[in-house]
Amino acid sequence: MERDSIETFINQWKKERPDLDPWPVGVLGRTQRISAHLQTRAAKWLSPLGLTWDSFSLLLALRRSGEPYELRPTDIYRESLLSSGAITNRIDKVEKKGWVKRYASPDDRRGVVVRLTPSGRAVADKAVEIHFRELADQLSKISKKERQMLLQLLRRVLGILEETS
Protein backbone atom coordinates (compact mmCIF):
# COMPACT_ATOMS: atom_id res chain seq x y z
CA MET A 1 0.00 0.00 0.00
CA GLU A 2 1.36 3.41 -0.95
CA ARG A 3 1.94 5.83 1.90
CA ASP A 4 1.17 9.52 1.82
CA SER A 5 1.33 12.50 4.17
CA ILE A 6 -2.14 11.84 5.61
CA GLU A 7 -1.17 8.32 6.71
CA THR A 8 0.99 9.91 9.40
CA PHE A 9 -2.05 11.74 10.83
CA ILE A 10 -4.08 8.54 10.82
CA ASN A 11 -1.37 6.57 12.59
CA GLN A 12 -0.95 9.30 15.18
CA TRP A 13 -4.67 9.28 15.94
CA LYS A 14 -4.71 5.49 16.15
CA LYS A 15 -1.98 5.70 18.79
CA GLU A 16 -3.38 8.68 20.71
CA ARG A 17 -7.07 7.80 20.48
CA PRO A 18 -7.42 4.08 19.70
CA ASP A 19 -11.10 4.39 20.61
CA LEU A 20 -11.73 6.46 17.45
CA ASP A 21 -11.69 5.25 13.86
CA PRO A 22 -9.81 7.95 11.90
CA TRP A 23 -10.90 6.83 8.41
CA PRO A 24 -12.95 10.03 7.79
CA VAL A 25 -9.77 12.09 8.36
CA GLY A 26 -8.23 10.05 5.57
CA VAL A 27 -10.99 11.10 3.18
CA LEU A 28 -11.06 14.77 4.13
CA GLY A 29 -7.30 15.17 4.47
CA ARG A 30 -6.56 13.49 1.17
CA THR A 31 -9.21 15.36 -0.80
CA GLN A 32 -7.99 18.66 0.66
CA ARG A 33 -4.36 17.88 -0.14
CA ILE A 34 -5.22 16.66 -3.64
CA SER A 35 -7.18 19.85 -4.30
CA ALA A 36 -4.37 22.05 -3.00
CA HIS A 37 -1.74 20.25 -5.11
CA LEU A 38 -3.81 20.41 -8.28
CA GLN A 39 -4.82 24.06 -7.82
CA THR A 40 -1.19 25.06 -7.24
CA ARG A 41 -0.16 23.21 -10.39
CA ALA A 42 -3.10 24.64 -12.34
CA ALA A 43 -2.05 28.16 -11.36
CA LYS A 44 1.28 27.49 -13.09
CA TRP A 45 -0.25 26.43 -16.39
CA LEU A 46 -2.97 29.11 -16.34
CA SER A 47 -0.69 32.01 -15.45
CA PRO A 48 0.88 32.40 -18.93
CA LEU A 49 -2.65 33.09 -20.24
CA GLY A 50 -3.15 35.84 -17.66
CA LEU A 51 -5.57 33.67 -15.69
CA THR A 52 -5.94 32.98 -12.00
CA TRP A 53 -7.95 30.04 -10.68
CA ASP A 54 -10.85 32.43 -10.02
CA SER A 55 -10.85 34.04 -13.46
CA PHE A 56 -10.45 30.62 -15.11
CA SER A 57 -13.39 29.17 -13.21
CA LEU A 58 -15.55 32.19 -14.00
CA LEU A 59 -14.77 32.12 -17.74
CA LEU A 60 -15.36 28.37 -17.94
CA ALA A 61 -18.74 28.65 -16.20
CA LEU A 62 -19.78 31.08 -18.93
CA ARG A 63 -18.24 28.97 -21.71
CA ARG A 64 -19.98 25.79 -20.53
CA SER A 65 -23.33 27.58 -20.38
CA GLY A 66 -23.56 27.57 -24.20
CA GLU A 67 -24.77 30.29 -26.55
CA PRO A 68 -25.00 33.20 -25.80
CA TYR A 69 -22.44 32.39 -23.04
CA GLU A 70 -24.06 34.51 -20.37
CA LEU A 71 -25.16 34.06 -16.77
CA ARG A 72 -26.38 36.20 -13.90
CA PRO A 73 -23.73 36.72 -11.20
CA THR A 74 -25.58 34.38 -8.82
CA ASP A 75 -25.59 31.69 -11.53
CA ILE A 76 -21.84 32.18 -12.08
CA TYR A 77 -21.36 31.43 -8.39
CA ARG A 78 -23.48 28.27 -8.62
CA GLU A 79 -21.94 27.10 -11.90
CA SER A 80 -18.30 27.71 -10.99
CA LEU A 81 -15.86 26.38 -8.44
CA LEU A 82 -15.80 29.74 -6.68
CA SER A 83 -17.04 30.89 -3.30
CA SER A 84 -19.82 33.46 -3.22
CA GLY A 85 -17.68 36.16 -1.62
CA ALA A 86 -16.41 38.93 -3.88
CA ILE A 87 -17.98 37.54 -7.07
CA THR A 88 -18.48 41.14 -8.24
CA ASN A 89 -14.75 41.84 -7.85
CA ARG A 90 -13.92 38.72 -9.85
CA ILE A 91 -16.26 39.82 -12.63
CA ASP A 92 -14.68 43.31 -12.54
CA LYS A 93 -11.21 41.83 -13.06
CA VAL A 94 -12.12 39.78 -16.12
CA GLU A 95 -14.21 42.62 -17.50
CA LYS A 96 -11.14 44.91 -17.33
CA LYS A 97 -9.29 42.35 -19.47
CA GLY A 98 -12.09 42.47 -22.03
CA TRP A 99 -13.10 38.86 -21.49
CA VAL A 100 -16.67 39.56 -20.30
CA LYS A 101 -19.19 42.35 -20.60
CA ARG A 102 -22.10 43.20 -18.34
CA TYR A 103 -25.55 43.87 -19.78
CA ALA A 104 -28.85 44.85 -18.22
CA SER A 105 -30.93 41.76 -17.56
CA PRO A 106 -33.91 41.51 -19.91
CA ASP A 107 -35.86 39.72 -17.14
CA ASP A 108 -34.99 41.96 -14.18
CA ARG A 109 -34.61 45.73 -14.48
CA ARG A 110 -32.30 45.80 -11.44
CA GLY A 111 -30.20 42.81 -12.49
CA VAL A 112 -27.34 42.23 -14.87
CA VAL A 113 -26.10 39.37 -16.96
CA VAL A 114 -22.44 38.71 -17.64
CA ARG A 115 -21.61 37.64 -21.19
CA LEU A 116 -18.40 36.12 -22.49
CA THR A 117 -16.81 38.26 -25.21
CA PRO A 118 -15.21 36.71 -28.30
CA SER A 119 -11.75 37.27 -26.77
CA GLY A 120 -12.98 35.73 -23.52
CA ARG A 121 -14.24 32.70 -25.39
CA ALA A 122 -10.87 32.33 -27.14
CA VAL A 123 -9.02 32.48 -23.82
CA ALA A 124 -11.47 30.05 -22.22
CA ASP A 125 -11.11 27.57 -25.10
CA LYS A 126 -7.31 27.71 -25.00
CA ALA A 127 -7.25 27.47 -21.20
CA VAL A 128 -9.58 24.48 -21.03
CA GLU A 129 -7.49 22.58 -23.59
CA ILE A 130 -4.35 23.19 -21.56
CA HIS A 131 -6.14 22.41 -18.30
CA PHE A 132 -7.57 19.08 -19.48
CA ARG A 133 -4.22 18.03 -20.97
CA GLU A 134 -2.22 18.97 -17.89
CA LEU A 135 -4.69 17.39 -15.46
CA ALA A 136 -4.62 14.18 -17.48
CA ASP A 137 -0.84 14.27 -17.35
CA GLN A 138 -0.84 14.81 -13.57
CA LEU A 139 -3.14 11.82 -13.10
CA SER A 140 -1.67 9.60 -15.81
CA LYS A 141 -0.37 6.95 -13.40
CA ILE A 142 -3.95 6.02 -12.52
CA SER A 143 -5.17 3.18 -14.73
CA LYS A 144 -8.43 3.44 -16.66
CA LYS A 145 -10.07 0.95 -14.30
CA GLU A 146 -8.84 2.89 -11.24
CA ARG A 147 -10.10 6.17 -12.76
CA GLN A 148 -13.57 4.71 -13.20
CA MET A 149 -13.60 3.42 -9.61
CA LEU A 150 -12.32 6.75 -8.28
CA LEU A 151 -14.87 8.75 -10.23
CA GLN A 152 -17.68 6.48 -9.09
CA LEU A 153 -16.68 6.77 -5.42
CA LEU A 154 -16.20 10.54 -5.59
CA ARG A 155 -19.59 10.93 -7.32
CA ARG A 156 -21.18 8.87 -4.55
CA VAL A 157 -19.55 10.87 -1.73
CA LEU A 158 -20.40 14.22 -3.31
CA GLY A 159 -23.97 13.11 -3.97
CA ILE A 160 -24.41 12.10 -0.34
CA LEU A 161 -22.99 15.39 0.92
CA GLU A 162 -25.04 17.49 -1.51
CA GLU A 163 -28.31 15.78 -0.63
CA THR A 164 -27.75 16.41 3.08
CA SER A 165 -26.83 20.09 2.76
Identify whether residues 58 and 25 lie together within a single domain.
no
Percent of the chain with pLDDT over 90: 79
In this model, does residue 154 exceed pLDDT 90? yes
Quote the domain boundaries for residue 31.
Answer: 1-46
Identify whether residues 73 and 12 lie together within a single domain.
no
Identify whether residues 41 and 55 lie together within a single domain.
no
Identify whether residues 21 and 101 lie together within a single domain.
no
pLDDT at 149: 97
Identify whether residues 67 and 23 lie together within a single domain.
no
Identify whether residues 72 and 28 lie together within a single domain.
no
In this model, does residue 2 exceed pLDDT 80? no
Q: DSSP letters along 99-118, please?
A: SEEEEE-SS-TT-EEEEE-H
Q: What does the H/E/C string look like for 37-81?
A: HHHHHHHHHHHHHCCCHHHHHHHHHHHHCCCCCEECHHHHHHHCC
pLDDT tens track for 103-113? 988 887 778 99
pLDDT tens track for 29-81? 999 999 999 999 999 999 999 999 999 999 999 999 999 999 998 888 888 87
Identify whether residues 16 and 76 lie together within a single domain.
no
Identify whether residues 78 and 148 lie together within a single domain.
yes
pLDDT at 163: 93
Count the neighbouring beta carbons within 10 Å of the beta carbon of residue 102: 14
In this model, does residue 165 exceed pLDDT 90? no
Identify whether residues 142 and 90 lie together within a single domain.
yes
Identify whether residues 37 and 63 lie together within a single domain.
no
In this model, does residue 23 exceed pLDDT 70? yes
* CATH number of 56's domain: 1.10.10.10
Identify whether residues 63 and 35 lie together within a single domain.
no
Distance between CA atoms of residues 139 and 31, nearest Å: 14
pLDDT at 1: 60
Domain count, the chain: 2
Confidence at 131, pLDDT banded by 50, 70, 90:
very high
